[in-house]
A and B are shown apart, each in its own frame.
Chain A
Amino acid sequence: MSAAATAPSYVFDEDAQATIVRARAPLSPKAESASYAARVVVDRHDGREQNVAATPLASSRVFEAAPELRPIAHNKTASFTVAKEWEGVVESIGISHFMAQLREIGSTDDATEVAELPIGDIPAGEREKLREGAVFRYLIGYAQHRTRTVTRKRLVYFRRGRLPQDSSVEAEWLSIAAMFTDD
């Protein structure tokens, strides 16, 4: 079977607001000419997906394989409800605690407060980000588990990402332009 015969194509179906996969799947010789349509996702504004469903384009045709897309599963074990959230800047770091300036998210004023927070509240994978000047979020609330038990919870998360600088946008455009320059 040629590569072209096995390559799927994807068509956006305006009526169904869905992307349709049309594929020639690797089939047994007797069914080699069969093709299939699989509805992949429904493009809702909230990004929610519908289940992947495959249907034969011609039901009378014999088919043994249809393109299958693994649905993305979410395995959350607990739901964390935030009672309060602050944005903080690390001021100093001790052995078991660190000092930080905190500003409450959603507060009507820009008042800041200084707090001493346990390093143990920082997830192990995030501790390397603890340094003076680091910006983080500090959340307190409660976690509700699948069993409906509720526990108090504190969470420290270090911010990442930054706004693009003027120079970075310009440099990126120049590097793209350079690709099209004849020399």
Chain B
Amino acid sequence: MSESTRHFTASVVLIGQFNPPIFSPAWMNRVGLVPDEALDDAQVAIIHRDIAQFAVGGFSFDIRRGRFSIEVDSEPLVQALDASLAIFGEHVPHIPVSEFGINYTEHFELDEPARRVALGRRLAPIEPWGEYGAELDALVDDRTSGVVDLVMRLTYDPPESGGLRVEIEPSELIEPLDVGVVMLVNDHRRITDTKEADGARPALTLLSEIFDESLSRSRKIVSDMHDFAKGLKL
């Protein structure tokens, strides 16, 4: 079976008011999120009053005063949801969470550099760019020119409830460096009718309801783009 290289991560980002230094690998173990043996391999980048950044038990945490991110890079991706529920549903449910994002990032590999250039040209045609566009197209061989970052955004109804942001750019993770593409999908939701006394409950309820559907849609967006690129005639 032959399959091109792909790497993916999923993360849940909660927006609220957090106290970074209370969170650590030991705290995650104490609340039962990670087993004792995971502490041996824990990696701590920093734990400070303004930021806590560490990885333990397959989770990567990035916690700021206004933002709490949990990332996983292996299946099942529902672990990111479960970690959110274990922390904010069971142990610190009083922390108000006003917004959240379900993020999915995937790097995929195309069969040749020309295919990635062709995809870039379809995403961002060079014709509207005049003489500059002609210069872009003239550069060949090991100098590839063209789109380096493109963002699309779908606004939900009502607009204040959030939106779906998709970004595509060349991947720096896949080698060789001229055949990889990375897509980042951010499904952002804002809780519009919550009270501080409700804590994290309204956000976690919505998060639980839409998590699987959101990830399925994100994967479909990436898969559609990958299929489109594979079908381009060179």
- Interface residues of A, Cβ cutoff 8 Å to B: 8, 10, 12, 19, 21, 40-41, 43, 45-48, 52, 69-74, 76, 79-82, 85, 105-106, 125, 137, 139, 141-142, 144, 148, 150, 155, 157, 159-164, 166, 168-170, 172-173, 176
Contacts and interface: CB of A to CB of B under 8 A. Distances in A.
Interface stretch (B41-49, B128-136, B155-163): B41-49
Contacts of A40: 45-46, 51, 53
B103 A144 contact: no
Interface in B15-36: 32-33, 35
Contact of A161 (B60, B89, B101, B184): B89
Contacts of A142: 1, 3
B90 interface: yes
B85 interface: yes
5 contacts: A74-B60, A139-B76, A142-B1, A155-B75, A169-B93
A161 B90 contact: yes
Nearest to B35: A125
B85 A172 contact: no
B145 to A, nearest CB: 24
B85 A162 contact: yes
Contacts of B43: 70, 72-73
A79 B7 contact: yes
B60 A72 contact: yes
B201 interface: yes
**Chain A interface, DSSP helix/strand/loop, else mixed:** mixed
Nearest to B13: A47
Interface in B63-89: 64, 69, 71, 73-76, 78-79, 81-89
Contacts of A106: 212-213, 216
Interface size class of B (residues with CB under 8 A): 35 or more
B75 A139 contact: yes
A95 B81 CA distance: 31
A169 B197 contact: yes
B94 interface: yes
B11 A163 contact: no
A65 to B, nearest CB: 17
B98 interface: no
B44 A173 contact: no
B198 A85 contact: no
Nearest to A160: B82
Nearest to A75: B41
Most buried by A among B5, B33, B45, B186: B45
B11 to A, nearest CB: 5
Contacts of A41: 45, 51, 53, 62
Contacts of B117: none
Interface in B173-205: 184, 186, 197-201, 204-205
